[in-house]
Structure 1
Amino acid sequence: MIKPKRLQPGEMVGVIAPASPPNQEYLERGIGFLQGLGLKVKVGKHVAKAYGYLAGTDDERLEDLHEMFNNPEIKAIICACGGYGTGRIASNINYEMIKANPKILWGYSDITFLHTAIRQETGLVTFHGPMLGSDIGKEDTHPLSKEGFNQLFEPINLTYTEEISRLETLVEGVASGPLVGGNLSLLVSTLGSRHELDTKDKILLIEDIGEEPRAVDRMLNQLYMSGKLDEACGILIGDFFDCLPKKGLSLSLEEVIMHYARLASKPSIKGFLMGHCNPHVSVPFGVPATINTFEKKLVVESGIGY
């Protein structure tokens, strides 16, 4: 495990769009938020580009990622938005260069593929948190979403209880292990690839957006059949925004999730505000965490080094 160094006021952070094009108005406000934290901001040269549903070609998006990791002035890399596309560049990333230049990487949704690939190839702790052009730059962004960036300046252990949101125990128990996961669709897309998600003895976080219960059922079944749910030591259910049946007969999302939680038979809690939600609570991936269903509590070690 490699923890990136914490940020200091006055340092420079880089902004990239490794997936889809960000909303430029939101992005500008998001950049203003970073500047308000006392940071300097360097925007990747291809962030404003659009190539269909991608923020530039694969080579262009990869170039921005590599340049930010390779630039010694850049101390953190904040993603502008998700969408689609990080899986297309994962096989061509220079992981040795990243390992030699560890620094903060922040994002979620489609960035899940980068979280998984980079952590498993290099051991670097990365951060699952709201992004500039899809969350922070909106006028109604909850203060809790913005407060999550504080963990980049000071080593802070996160304790998540029902003081933040209502939590529901699905399977009783206590489990400890590195926290991994992210967007369910992206996690499933790693299966069978070089970057296949490793859940062995780990706490797995899942979240998603816009998927009907039958689609969530299909993806959870694939994780179950591939052994990923059995290998995990605990399961956290994040936000599943707009994951409702569109027409016809359907199981509810709750029924689907409960089915696989019981099959996995690992300590499981649902209700975490992590994912496509407002507020969105940020967490580091790859660090030790403990889930306790009896206390309805999650404790996550700081992802920042000194």
Structure 2
Amino acid sequence: MGVKPQRLRKGDTIGIIAPASPPNQENLQRSFLFLEELGLKVKLGKHLYDQYGYLAGEDKDRLADLHKMFMDREVKAVICAGGGYGTGRIASQIDYSLIKNNPKIFWGYSDITFLHTAIRQQSDLVTFHGPMLASDIGKVDVDPLSKEYFKQLFEPTSIQYTNELSPLEALIGGKASGEITGGNLSLIASTIGTRFEIETKDKLLLIEDINEEPRAIDRMLNQLYMAGKLTEAAGIIIGDFNNCVPERELSLQLDEVISHYMKLANKPALKGFKFGHCSPHISIPLGVQAELDTEKGQLIIDSGIKE
């Protein structure tokens, strides 16, 4: 089991960084109000508002913001403003010993998946897969449930995801337990062949994605299958695949593609979870123990912070 960070308390300071693409500024400003409602103070990364093409500043500057937030003893959590693209570019330059020696809450999803995997495997820190400030929380129409799950950072709480949250469907029956790993499928696939290659052996693998045609999902799942990542997993958690629809007349449907690879993997697999680019977006810790039960239609996840 990974190292769990300390819980948050009212009055704590949160560090905000943009390690990938430039965040929507209006949404970002609105999200600060939510953090203030939680009783938190915000400290902004020096390069939070930088723009360098499709990146939120040059690699060295985004890296510097990440390092500074983990070094800053006043900062109790590091929250990502948004995703997009870019975290894989800085992964090999991160000082993981710095993170290991200064464990604190790290929160984000989508492109941040690369950092979740790298940080977890290089420093043993439990991180959080959850909605980001500019991408989700600061939107005018944000679902209250997306905000609700931030409370797990203040009080150790086991997350019990059942059909009451969203309809769940078993693709392969059975029970499985293990640490949760994964996140965005595109980013998981991009780790293969690198020193940050995702480790799935005896773990529960979470997958989700957005705006990818079924043939692209097929390609990435096939890569994971051939690399042994699906068959090594204890079970598979299928999150939201937002707008993953065919753009051509001749195509398999998304459900056909996912079902094909779940049958090949032949591990307990449950789909329908509101994890990913969806609303509401339920946040969960990565690197903690969880139990998947397809018969009961539930996923029980240990708390991600220290008791």
When the two structures are superposed, what TM-score results if normalisation uses the length of structure 2? 0.99
The aligned counterpart of 2:153 is 152
1:167 partnered with 2:194: no
Task: Report the Cα offset of residue 294 of structure 1.
Answer: 0.6
2:72 corresponds to = 71
Aligned position for 1:292: 293
Shift of 1:109: 0.1
Whichever residue aligns with residue 202 of structure 1, its letter is: K
1:225-277 deviations in Å (ceiling 9; x for gaps): 00000100000110000000011200000000000000000000000000000
Instruction: Name the CA distance, whole Å, in 2 between partners of 1:296 and 1:136.
Output: 28
Give the Cα separation in 2 of the matches to 1:35 and 1:188.
37
Question: Which residue pairs with 1:131 in the alignment?
Answer: 132
Where does 1:140-289 land on structure 2 (aligned, <5 Å)?
140-289=141-290
AA aligned opposite 1:273: K
User: Can you list the C-alpha shifts for 1:45-96, whole angstroms capped at 9, x where unaligned?
Assistant: 1010100000000000000000000000000000000000000000000000
| 2:209 maps to amino acid | D
**How far apart in 2 are the matches of 1:57 and 1:244?**
33
Deviation digits for residues 148-188 of structure 1 (CA, Å, limit 9, x no counterpart): 10000000000000000000100000000000100000000
Q: Which amino acid aligns with 1:247?
A: R
| Structure 2 equivalent of residue 54 of structure 1 | 55
User: Residue in 1 aligned with 2:97?
Assistant: 96
Q: Which runs of 5+ in 1 are unaligned?
A: none
Q: Secondary structure at the match of 1:186?
A: helix
Q: 1:216 & 1:135 partners in 2: Cα distance? A: 24
Distance 1:248 1:297 in 2: 36
What SS is found at the alignment partner of 2:140? coil
Partner of 2:82: 81
Tell me what 1:304 maps to: 305
Partner secondary structure for residue 236 of structure 2: strand
**What is the letter of the counterpart of residue 126 of structure 2?**
V
Cα distance in 2, alignment partners of residues 175 and 199 from structure 1: 13
Q: What's the TM-score, normalizing by structure 1?
A: 1.00
Number of equivalences: 306
Query: Using the alignment, how far apart are the partners of 1:30 and 1:189 within structure 2?
Result: 30
1:40 aligned partner: 41
Distance 1:275 1:175 in 2: 21
Letter paired with 1:39:
L
1:17 matched to 2:22: no
Give the partner amino acid of 1:71. D
| SS of 1:47 mapped into structure 2 | coil
SS of the equivalent of 2:251 reads: coil
Q: How many Å separate the matches in 2 of 1:201 and 1:285?
A: 14
Amino acid at match of 1:25: E
What is the identity, as a one-letter code, of the residue corresponding to 2:91?
A: A
**Percent same amino acid at aligned positions?**
65
Deviations 1:266-306 (A, max 9, x none): 00000000000000000000000000001000000000014
- In structure 2, distance between residues paired with 1:274 and 1:190: 20
Describe the SS at the equivalent of 1:177: strand
When the two chains are superposed, the root-mean-square deviation of aligned CA atoms in Å is: 0.5
Indicate the SS of the match to 1:149.
helix
- Structure 1 distance, partners of 2:12, 2:274, is 29
- Distance in 2 between the 1:55 and 1:180 partners? 26
- Cα distance, 1:32 vs. partner? 1.3
Look up the SS of the partner of 1:200 in the other structure. Answer: coil
